[in-house]
Amino acid sequence: MKPDTALFAIHDVSDFPIVRFRPETAVTGYAPLWENDMDALLRHGVPFVMLFEAERSDEAHVDRKRRGLWLKHNKMALAAICRGLVSVEADAQERARLQAMAAGAMKAFGIVQEVAATREEADALMVWLLGSGRMARPRAAAE
């Protein structure tokens, strides 16, 4: 069952259980809307993966701080249903930088984070993260 798309301002849930972050919505002051989206995902209670396809702009400090507090307070509940976060980054150097940052975030929030080179690789990772049982972990992501 898909969540009600009308409840979401920052994320696209039309392909649920894939939840796409929409970077164009992340303008200064967006954190309360982000929190509403995340609360709606928690209430929905169905496992999902988060997908970041487009480049993310620099986030305002006030939004980063507020999101960080929400993540800290909801760490266990989110980890119970969010199977992972997958970003797509074609540039190898930027991908390596993002993967290094993801390692720290995984420790802090308990959610698997991967960075794929292509959307196809991201799709394979999302299938694996959602636990379909139809495939082993994709080789490119495991390296």
Tens digit of each residue's pLDDT (9 = 90 or more) over 86-134: 999 999 999 999 889 888 888 888 888 999 999 999 999 999 999 854 4
Q: Convert 16-77 into a string of H (helix), E (strand) and C (coil).
A: CCEEEECHHHCCCCCHHHHHHHHHHHHHHCCCEEEEECCCCCCCCHHHHHHHHHHHHHCHHH
pTM here is 0.86
Domains assigned to the chain: 5-142 (3.40.525)
Work out the mean pLDDT of the chain and round it to a whole number.
88
pLDDT of residue 109: 81
